[in-house]
Structure 1
Amino acid sequence: MKSTIRSASNHRVVRTLKRTSPLALLTVVLLVLAVPSGMVISSAFTAPDQSLRAAASVPAWQQLPSEMSRPQGISPLLDSAPIPSPDKVAAHLESTLKTDGGGAFTALVKDAVTGQVLFDRGGSDSRIPASNMKLLTAVAALRSMGSETRFSTRVLAGQAPASVVLAGGGDVLLGAGESAPDQVVGRAGLATLARLTVQSLKENGVTGAVSVQLDDSLFTGPALNPAWSLEDVAAGETAPLYPLALNSARYDPLKTTGPRPQDSAITTAEAFAAELKTAGAASGLTVAPGVGRSGSEAAASGGPATGSGGDAGPEVLAEVQSATVSQQVDLMLQTSDNYLAEALGRMSAHADGLPAGNDGATATVMKQLTGLGVNVDTMRLADVSGLALGNRVSARQFAEVVRAITSGPDPRLRNALAGFPVAGLTGTLDDRYGDDSTAGGAGLVRAKTGTLNSVIALSGYVVDAEGRLLVFSFIGNGLMPGAAGNKAALDRSASALASCGCR
């Protein structure tokens, strides 16, 4: 009973702090969450801390904060924390992991440090994973490109004397205004790019009318994946893929639902031309009407994917750079943006020397997972966002990927930790874990969500009540569309792991 009361109280505090200041929210995350931050590497999960060995029966990370305190990091987990008993974990999950009206859940729970399987219900069965697929894309992006890589959007001197070429380099989070260095969406701005272009044109003695062309040749293959439902495309779940877009191919950065531009490259180029017209007015420059697609000037200049500058080819007149790959991965996981996921997949393929299309993206994901030691023999990928119904991934494979992120030997993957939504607080888990049956996981569970018409999934990690880091994956297929109990079943199951004193 005390545990139940404590969990409900925790959730009320979290819910209250969400309505207050960002500082309060940060503090409760630091003080209450039983998870390390994205900068913590695997040794910090398990390094011994003698000062905590005499801790009270209620762990510090599950106690309510009594006051606001100065951030001072998170204590490492105890290496002596007991591994839960598989029988007791099963007893909890068998009572919570039940479908509402049809279909079935598969599941796998592992101890993160040892890899011991604590619960397995069809964990090796291949299932439609929905947006849990983005966990695989995150791993591929961080391994193939690195966390600090940025994508360049350039303006090149065209072949005609008074022409410029806008060259897409993979940044689909461009902003229409000035560059905003402290933002992820809009870190690179078209107004800044236009202003820098005008400066270069003036230095080159260009006057009069300037024509704008577009080079979007970086991405290859069909812009629209034939595995996607046209109804999903019409609803704005995704759109044809191009290597440059405003606001992740959204008309308005504040509206993340509804139809998207069907040619984000032309839409972006037209917006750039308008900014160029405004920026050049004081210098006597005008912009010729219309934007046309050019050849591959960007490819001739060394490729626009990362870094700055090329060895040969057209002169680079101006350049702006995106947020880092790590920041984009965090945004992708938090918001579950399909368009951003597909763009990151194509850029991962490009970094691996493969064609930057859907086939290259799926091949890169498989390659990077294999490099981690994940067995991909049964895996089938039709896209890298999880929107396609042709994807097949098992709960075991997801649990292994989450374990690689939290505790594996590749430190680059720690950069994905901060992107996992936090139950009841952030991202796609913001409005969940709000009732008595799930309050025990509020602020503690970190997991990637996934939802399609008859599919629901949740894969992530949690520290249990005795201080043991667990990774889990729950996948439901063949479910009754719209049945409210299925999402609640996954949340109750993750909360049961958070509350588990299952030695």
Structure 2
Amino acid sequence: MVLSLSLLNVFTVTAGLAVAKLTPDRHLSPQPPSVAARDLVRVPASLAIPAADPASRPLPDASTLAGRLTDLIGGPRAKINAVVIDAATRRPLFERRADRPATPASTTKLVTSVAALASVGPAHRITTQVVQGAGGRIVLVGGGDPTLTALPARAGDGRPRWASLLGLAQQTATALKVSGVRQVHVDYDASAYQGPRTAAGWKPNYVPDGEVAPVSALAVDEGRVSPGDSSKRTRVSDPPAAAVKQFAQLLSENGVSAKPGRRTTAQKGAVRLGAVQSPPMSVLVEHLMTESDNDVAEAVARQVALKLGRPATFADAAQAVQQAVAKLGVAEGVSVNDGSGLSTRNRITPLALARLTSLAADDEHPELRSAVTGLPVAGFSGTLGLPRFGAASSQAGAGMVRAKTGTLAGVSTLAGLAYDADGRLLAFAFMAGDGEGPVDPGKLDQLAAAVAACGCGGAPSAGG
């Protein structure tokens, strides 16, 4: 059985209106440790439009679909690898070098997300805590939460409320004052992550340009120098040191004079003075997929490594991700070096991406659901907001396609799901470019729109 993605149909009915929120805000009662105010991803029942099971609809005629897609792709010299499969049966309907590995760019996040949901689970949260240290000092301990923020919550922006550094400081200040402590040194522990802070295949400009922060188990606002100004992307060079400095300042503002200290490793079983947690993994996945957040993707990959008993390094996270998708039977054609897709060394086949997406849409794997609900909606949300799917040549896909984008120099990719005109749910992956020369994301939009517009049923449902 395949998940009936009825939210796609909502957008065709409500075009021109605000995009419906995929996950409602929920209030969580205060309890230690405090957690970000967002519950597990659930699709609101009020948004569901009753529809027939997509697997019961006729399959597209493969030759008709192939003719339309081949005309759009062009001749044999076109640098596009592609596949379209039936989501219910995994039956290939169109293949063009579908088993040839290509640079996936941010469609790598599909692999990372499925691996995390399958291994650590959708309910998993990441904890940042403060514990007692030696000699009357305290220790800020990072667990790898990429959502830890010093910014105030902004009601009504439709985004999750991340774990609060201020809340952690207030908890800690209260605990210290109860013990009669009014002055303290704050050390920090970022030992949950090991190894290099940048991955093999990352270009030297990624960190300076703000594409990603140096990967660390302790960072505030993803290491951004000016987190309140979206026009400024610069990152700090040492996220843990910057985090402890901010935390000490917040402690001082809450009645405990604090000075930032040194890097250390907290003792096991040390007395906890305060703790905050990230939103659940399902919400992290939705966010990283919709917004293509590189920092969150790298953090999520490391959670897979920790869950599987590996060190939280780039190499071990990549191996853990592969181990997790291998357990699901969808590792063939997947080779990654990071969790975000920034590495130019990653290689994934179109067929692997389509199979992963189909698996996440399968009713037999509800734990993978947010990998699908996090996919941007064509023409409406995330990295597929306008102008994507706004041109006349691709408008047929608006609201009917959900897909993850990928972009690197000389590379453009698109992988996701689409309902065709007969109501059949199809999975696709289009991968353009070889890292050299220009690529046109609009061409991939046209291909996905052609899949959605294909009212070319005629083949039997074959077990659907």
- TM-score range (shorter-chain normalised) is 0.7 to 0.9
**1:239 partner amino acid:** A
Q: Identify the residue that residue 146 of structure 1 maps to in structure 2.
A: 121
Contact 1:250 / 1:256 at 8 angstroms: preserved in 2? no
Shift of 1:392: 0.9
SS at match of 2:83: strand
Preserved CA contact (<8 Å) 2:55 2:88: no
Q: Alignment partner for residue 436 of structure 1, among 384, 388, 392?
A: 392
Deviations 1:359-410 (A, max 9, x none): 111011111111111143x532221211111111100110110011012632
Unaligned runs of 5+ in 2: 1-10, 24-40, 458-464
- Distance between the aligned counterparts of 2:354 and 2:167, measured in 1? 43
Aligned equivalents of 2:82, 2:300: Cα separation in 1? 28
The change in CA–CA distance for 1:138 and 1:261 in structure 2 (over 3 A counts) is same
- Partners of 1:89 and 1:112 in 2: CA distance: 15
Structure 2 partner of 1:497: 451
Report how far residue 112 of structure 1 moved. 0.6
Query: What is the CA–CA distance in structure 2 between the aligned matches of 1:155 and 1:95, rounded to whole Å?
Result: 60
Structure 2 CA distance for partners of 1:318 and 1:469, relative to 1, 3 Å: same
Q: SS where residue 451 of structure 2 aligns?
A: helix
Residue 167 of structure 1 deviates from its aligned partner by: 0.2
Give me the whole-angstrom Cα distance separating, in 2, the residues matched to 1:257 and 1:480.
Answer: 29
Of the structure 1 ranges 425-434 and 183-192, higher mean CA displacement relative to structure 2 is found in 183-192
Aligned to 2:291: 335
Aligned with residue 82 of structure 1, among 44, 58, 62: 58
For residue 213 of structure 1, what is the aligned residue in structure 2?
Answer: 187
Q: Which runs of 5+ in 1 are unaligned?
A: 1-9, 19-24, 30-37, 41-68, 302-312
Match 1:418 to one of 355, 370, 373: 373
Q: How does 1:51-62 map to 2 (within 5 A)?
A: none
What pairs up with 1:27-426 in 2 under 5 angstroms?
39=42, 71=47, 73-98=49-74, 104-161=79-136, 163-177=137-151, 186-207=161-182, 209-251=183-225, 252-255=227-230, 258-280=233-255, 285-288=256-259, 290-294=260-264, 296-297=265-266, 300-301=267-268, 313-376=269-332, 378-407=333-362, 409-426=364-381
SS at match of 1:92: helix
Q: Is the 8 A contact 2:305 2:311 kept in 1?
A: yes
2:26 equivalent in structure 1: none
Q: TM-score, normalised by structure 2?
A: 0.86
Note if contact 2:193-2:311 (Cα within 8 Å) is conserved in structure 1. yes
Relative to structure 1, the CA distance from residue 151 to residue 375 in structure 2 (aligned partners, 3 Å threshold; closer, same or farther) is closer
Could you say which structure has the higher helix fraction? 1
What amino acid maps onto 2:66 in structure 1?
A
Seen in structure 2, the aligned counterparts of structure 1 residues 106 and 71 have a Cα distance that, compared at 3 Å, is closer
Percent identity between matched residues is 34
- TM-score by length of structure 1 reads 0.79
Larger Cα-atom Rg? 1
> CA contact under 8 A between 2:200 and 2:345: conserved in structure 1?
no
* 2:102–2:434 CA contact under 8 A, matched in 1: no
Q: Rate the CA distance shift 1:430–1:382 in 2: closer, same or farther, 3 A.
A: same
Alpha-carbon spacing, 1:430–1:257, altered in 2? closer, same or farther (3 Å): farther
Distance 1:220 1:433 in 2: 41
Q: How many residues align?
A: 426
Shift of 1:266: 1.4
Deviation at 1:415, TM superposition (A): 2.2
Distance 2:275 2:82 in 1: 47
Task: Give how far 1:103 is off.
Answer: 5.4
Q: Is the 8 A contact 2:354 2:415 kept in 1?
A: yes
Q: Which amino acid aligns with 1:342?
A: E
Change (3 A) 1:256 1:383: farther
Q: Is the 8 A contact 1:462 1:470 kept in 2?
A: yes
Over 3 Å counting, the alpha-carbon distance change for 1:480 and 1:11 in structure 2 is farther
